[in-house]
């Protein structure tokens, strides 16, 4: 009988984490940011049919980066969990926090028990009735959850993108951030100094606070172009 080689648990976890991170880094990143009227999500995505950002429930959206088939499976599970809860209790009882916890459980379980971890990072965002109620949960491949306040960056190279984003946003970040400014800062951060992203390369969706029921809104290429073009007309940035 052959005896399997002993591998330290630390090494097993590290190998899995490296594997997941490499997979995630191969895809494109995304940025989510709170603005005055809700939450804006901006992803680099050249496909017009395979989405990274989508609707989960009345005030909740989902975004994923990494392997498409894996985060799409998670997205559908989220839609099911939300619709089930709304059906069995009430629409008001569906919230992002419990959904984020369920995602964290399943990702954590797959990370430790399955052959291969999921190569994804996901975001669950909820727009509140007031800015205080806005929530963004960033969940990693291993089930760790981060509760983000003003913005979140998902995907490979997120540290660099995050720095670029805070530089571009400056002190406008927070409750009063205007939609056009927020989207332009996110696009600049995703593009970096050497590239320019056009509407065709982007997927932008919003959670609009003032909607009565379904707050999720996907922007068309024309609408995105309009927001990106505003820059020239807007007043010059302070500083």
Q: Which residues bind other proteins (CB under 8 A)?
A: 49, 51, 54-56, 73-74, 76-77, 79-81, 83-88, 102-103, 105-106
Nearer to other proteins, 157 or 211 (CB): 211
Q: By C-alpha distance, which of 154, 207, 216, 163 is closest to 185?
A: 163
Backbone angles phi, psi at 83, to 5 degrees: -65, -40
Distance in angstroms (rounded) separating the CA atoms of residues 67 and 85: 27
Minimum CB distance to other proteins, residue 135 (Å): 19
Torsion-angle region of residue 66: left (phi > 0), alpha (psi -120 to 50) or beta?
left
Minimum CB distance to other proteins, residue 78 (Å): 9
Nearer to other proteins, 57 or 151 (CB): 57
Nearer to other proteins, 20 or 100 (CB): 100
Q: By C-alpha distance, which of 126, 190, 140, 142 is closest to 163?
A: 190
CB 195 within 8 A of CB 46: no
Nearer to other proteins, 103 or 151 (CB): 103
Minimum CB distance to other proteins, residue 40 (Å): 20
Nearer to other proteins, 69 or 129 (CB): 69
CB 100 within 8 A of CB 140: no
Minimum CB distance to other proteins, residue 211 (Å): 13
C-alpha distances in Å from residue 63, one per residue of 6, 44, 155, 235: 39, 12, 11, 32
Minimum CB distance to other proteins, residue 102 (Å): 4
Nearer to other proteins, 98 or 166 (CB): 98
Minimum CB distance to other proteins, residue 125 (Å): 15
User: Going edge to edge, which strands form the sheet with 38-44?
Assistant: 151-154, 30-35, 38-44, 202-208, 216-218
């Amino acid at each position: 009988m052959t005896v399997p080689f002993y591998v330290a648990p630390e090494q097993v976890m590290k190998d899995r984490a490296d594997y997941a991170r490499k997979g995630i880094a191969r895809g494109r990143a995304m940025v989510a940011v709170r603005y005055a009227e809700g939450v804006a999500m901006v992803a680099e995505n050249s496909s017009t049919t395979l989405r990274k950002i989508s609707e989960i429930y009345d005030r909740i959206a989902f975004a994923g980066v990494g392997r498409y088939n894996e985060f799409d499976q998670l997205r559908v599970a989220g839609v099911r969990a939300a619709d089930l809860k709304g059906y069995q209790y009430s629409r008001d009882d569906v919230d992002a926090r419990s959904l984020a916890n369920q995602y964290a459980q399943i990702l954590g379980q797959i990370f430790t028990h399955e052959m291969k971890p999921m190569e994804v990072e996901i975001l669950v965002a909820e727009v509140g009735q007031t800015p205080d109620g806005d929530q963004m949960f960033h969940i990693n491949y291993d089930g760790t959850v981060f509760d983000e306040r003003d913005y979140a960056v998902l995907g490979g190279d997120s540290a660099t993108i995050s720095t670029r984003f805070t530089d571009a946003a400056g002190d406008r970040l927070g409750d009063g951030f205007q939609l056009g400014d927020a989207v332009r800062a996110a696009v600049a951060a995703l593009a970096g100094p050497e590239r320019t992203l056009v509407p065709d390369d982007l997927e932008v969706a919003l959670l609009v606070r003032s909607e009565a029921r379904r707050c999720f809104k996907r922007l068309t290429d024309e609408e995105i172009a309009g927001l990106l073009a505003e820059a020239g007309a807007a007043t010059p940035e302070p500083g």
